[in-house]
Structure formats: structure tokens, C-alpha cells
Amino acid sequence: MKSIILAAGQGSRMKSDTPKPLLKIGGKPMLRHVIDALKATFPMDAEDINVVYSQVGIAVKKAAYEDVIYSEQETPKGTGDAVRAAIESHPVSGDDVLILYGDVPLITPETINGLVAAKKDADLALLSVCLDDPNGYGRIIRNDNGNVVGIVEQKDANEQQKIIDEVNTGIMLVSGSKLTEWVSALNNDNAQKEYYLTDIVEMAARDGKVACYITEDEDEVAGANDRVQMAELEAAYQERKIMSAMMNGLAVVDPTRVDIRGELTFGRNCEVDINVIFEGNVVLGDNVKVGPGSILTNCVIEDGTTIHPYTLIKDSTIGRTTIVGAFARINKGDRLPS
């Protein structure tokens, strides 16, 4: 298995000097979320994950993730051209290739595995979702037998096609040899004068069977083109993290007013009040209480400790059965004994 992650988007509507794939959700760049989801699904070496960046987004390569390789799309000419650049830089052959996006950070291993299972003997499997408002998305075109025969982009769709609510997420799994063949045959005869990767779906349908896996989770296939959508992704991510923690026993007064921006590990009978932020790697022992407005960053809080409101703890360890007073500031390297 190999993967191509398209991360060449400029993100001009973000009004940011940081390339869109490096903007953070849950304290971690969106691109890193995608890479981590891949690695949680398959055992993949650096040469198996190819990140495509543009010259405008050179900072994507400068992020220097050592567990991937990079390809440059010299001129933005569409998703098909981006995949072509990846293949020219690092050819694929007999492997299946999973195409993901650096600004779609909530994809899960479960959905990736569902796509893999759906592909079976097909040369291409795409991931779709049904939306109440499909405006702006490419529509999935099926024949009378329900088989996928193509994708039409919003700007190229007629009025009848615009009614279709099943849309393309852009995520697909393709046989490497076929991907190389189909991408080389792409043209830019469309309204945008771009090379659409989605055009290979029609090619695949002509050559054989196109498989499709429909996800019911809109959030995990959602991207972000502006700050409003970034906030929506952040809210969806936090809901996922907090609900998972609560289902595993963490007592949270109000799950909409707690942020986990990293990894939180906790024992039994832990309680978290409102407006608490966890950053980096935080470990709570058993019977820990965290008061409102506190920020805990890369720290260990041992059993039986109570943290009173508006406390900041960073890069430190708090010993067992300690009471940390309100508005305390505990800095890097400090250790409060039991």
C-alpha cells in the first residue's frame, strides 16, 4: 500500500502566511492528522507516503516530517496534475495507491479500511458521502444499475445532475499501474481548464468496475477553505475526543467547554471542570480533579491531586495527593512532591 497526500492548496481565503495543510486542528497540523491516520491503519515506511506541495506552499516540505517523501507540483493545474507530479517523482506500479488530502484531517482508520474492503477486485474505489446540501461538490453519477460511471464537478453539472445528493469526497484507492495510465490520459477540457483527478473514474468505469464506499460521517471527509470551516472542523474534532474520553470514564462537567489539544491519558474517578485545556501529552492519575479555567501542558498529575481554578501547569510533575492553589503557575521542570 502506498499513499499520495495532496497538500499543494494555497488556502488564500484563510488569509494566513501558513500553508493550509499546516494550520492546526486540536493543536496539530491538519497534514499530520492525515499522516497519523494512515500510520494507524497500515504499517507504512517513509517512501510509502508521498506528500505533494506547491512552490507557494514550500513550508509544507520545510515542516520536515521525516516519515514521508515529497513531490513538488510546480504550477497549480488541478488535482490530476498534482497526482501526475507525485507519480513522476516517485513512480508507483503494482501497489494500490490511497489518495488523501492534507486539509481533510478527520479521516479515520475505520473508513480507510472500509474503502480497502470495498475495492476488492476493482481497479478503483472511491469514497462518497450523501449531503443535505451538496452545493459545491462533485456529484457521483450512476447508471440504471446503480454502478458508478463518473463524477461531474459542480461548475460542469447540469440542473438535473445538481439535484444528486451523493458527492465525491476526493478520497480514492486506485491500482498503481492503472493510476499511472489514467493520469497520463487526463486533459483540461473543462470550465476550470484544470486536470481533474475525478476524470479517471469515467476511465475506470469504461475499463471495468468502479467500487464505492459510502461513509455516513460527514465530518471525517470535510475539508476547510476558510476560517469558519476551520472552526467547524475544530468543534467536530473536540467532540470526537471528548466523547471518547467520557465513554472511557472521564467525568466532564460540560464537554463543549473542554479542549484536548494533544493526547490525554487518565485513570479512574477523574473530574474536569469547565474551560480546561489539555495541551501536548497530559497524564492524570486516579482521583484527580481539575478546576475551571486551568491549562495543563505536557505534564503528569499523580493520584489524588486537586488542581484549583485557573492554574497553569507546564512540563512538570505534580505528586500524589497534592492540592494546587488557585491561579498557581508551575513552570517547566518543576516537581511538586506528594
Q: Are 197 and 113 in contact (CB under 8 A)?
A: no
Question: What are the CA-CA distances from residue 21 to residues 37, 216, 238 (Å)?
Answer: 15, 24, 19
C-alpha cell at 64: 520536515
**Does the annotation mark 257 as catalytic?**
no
Give the bridge partners for 125, in sequence order: 173, 211
How far apart are the C-alpha atoms of 233 and 224, rounded to whole Å? 7
What lies within 8 Å, CB to CB, of 233 at 6+ separation is 25, 30, 105, 106, 219, 222, 224
What lies within 8 Å, CB to CB, of 287 at 6+ separation is 267, 268, 269, 270, 303, 304
Find the helix or strand (DSSP H, E) in which 278 lies: strand 276-284
How far apart are the C-alpha atoms of 109 and 63, rounded to whole Å? 24
Q: Write the single-letter amino acid at 62.
A: K
CB atoms within 10 A of CB 120: 9
Characterize 36-53 residue by residue with b for buried, 16 or more Cβ atoms within 10 angstroms of its Cβ, and e for exposed: ebbbebbebeeebbbbbb
How far apart are the C-alpha atoms of 291 and 293, rounded to whole Å? 7
Among candidate residues 13, 206, 329, 335, the one labeled active-site is: 13
Q: Are 291 and 311 in contact (CB under 8 A)?
A: yes
How far apart are the C-alpha atoms of 335 and 126, rounded to whole Å? 52
Provide the sign of the torsion angle of the four alpha carbons 4, 42, 48, 59, taken in this order. Answer: positive
Residues designated as active site = 13
